[in-house]
Amino acid sequence: MSAVIIDGKQVAAEVRAEVANKVSELKKKGIAPCLAVILVGENPASVSYVTGKQKALAEVGMVDRSVHLPESTSEEELLKLIDELNADDSVHGILVQLPLPKHINEEKVIMAISPEKDVDGFHPVSVGNLMIGRPGFLPCTPHGIIVLLKKAGIETSGKHAVVIGRSNIVGKPVSILLARKDVNCTVTMCHTGTKNMAEITRQADIIVVASGHPHTLTGDMVKEGAVVIDVGVNRIPDSTKKSGFRLIGDCDFDDLKEKTSFITPVPGGVGPMTIAMLMQNTLESAERKA
């Protein structure tokens, strides 16, 4: 058996195309969907993520209100900017790129963003809505994972899904989304405190790996025909690359692709979906305003 490789780039392009169509419809009604991405400092990974978001905004025809602040920006100045953007009716979404410099309290910043503009889905109000199934912004990466499963035509109802990782950004929210009635999985969550993880993962029909460590999941830990979604992005040294490194996920891809039925690659799997779902959330915010 050789796995079907789920092409996240292709699915993300389809999502962005749908969003672009709806953006042009809204523009005809005089509404221009707008996202403000705030970047503080020069973290190279963050700069690259923000550039990706700006490219996507241009592609779907949204207004880009990105703000790049110096590393020395105070917490007070950042919170003042967020207040201004909250009050600006022409801005539909606000995203502060994490991590922030050490002198700024991330939790305070997340709490400052109005839940109506929290297109990242990180505010406690958004998380509460997710938990009880009320309408609200779904966090981008977990939502992207669900869209990938659906677009790949993977049967989820009644299946056993194992999530490795319990972060607030991926592990916890994706567990909730997998258990929702429209996906209907039975969900087990594994983490650093789990004993005999391989025994649990071998029972899984679907495994979502978001541990933040390479080779967390290997071929001997899955049953034949399982579906593996790899959320990890790890840089490892590679002298053959111009950059001096290459990206790998949290799974042993080569080992697993011979045993699984579907698997996502890194890069090109879950990553592109995160930005596509961010565009989707910004569009939804503009539609609600309309």
CA dist 1 and 260 (Å) reads 7
Catalytic hit among 22, 117, 118, 120: 120
CA dist 286 and 117 (Å) reads 9
Whether 120 is catalytic is yes
166 is in an annotated binding site: yes
User: Mind giving me the DSSP string for 202-248?
Assistant: TT-SEEEE--SSTTSB-GGGS-TT-EEEE---EEEE-TTSTTSEEEE
Catalytic hit among 22, 97, 205, 257: 97
User: Mind giving me the DSSP string for 24-93?
Assistant: HHHHHTT---EEEEEEES--HHHHHHHHHHHHHHHHHT-EE--EEE-TT--HHHHHHHHHHHHH-TT--E
CA dist 73 and 177 (Å) reads 36
74 is in an annotated binding site: no
Phi/psi for 28 (5° steps) reads -65, -25
Whether 108 is catalytic is no
52 is in an annotated binding site: no
Can you tell me whether residue 161 is helix, strand or coil?
Answer: strand
CA dist 127 and 40 (Å) reads 24
Nearest partner of 117 among 65, 195, 156, judged by Cα: 65
Task: Report angle CA 16, 163, 111 to the nearest 5 degrees.
Answer: 65
47 is in an annotated binding site: no
Whether 53 is catalytic is yes
Burial class (CB in 10 A: 0-12, 13-18, 19+), 175: buried
User: Residues annotated as binding site for NADP(+)?
Assistant: 165-167, 233
Q: Give the active site residues.
A: 53, 97, 120
User: Residues annotated as binding site?
Assistant: 165-167, 233
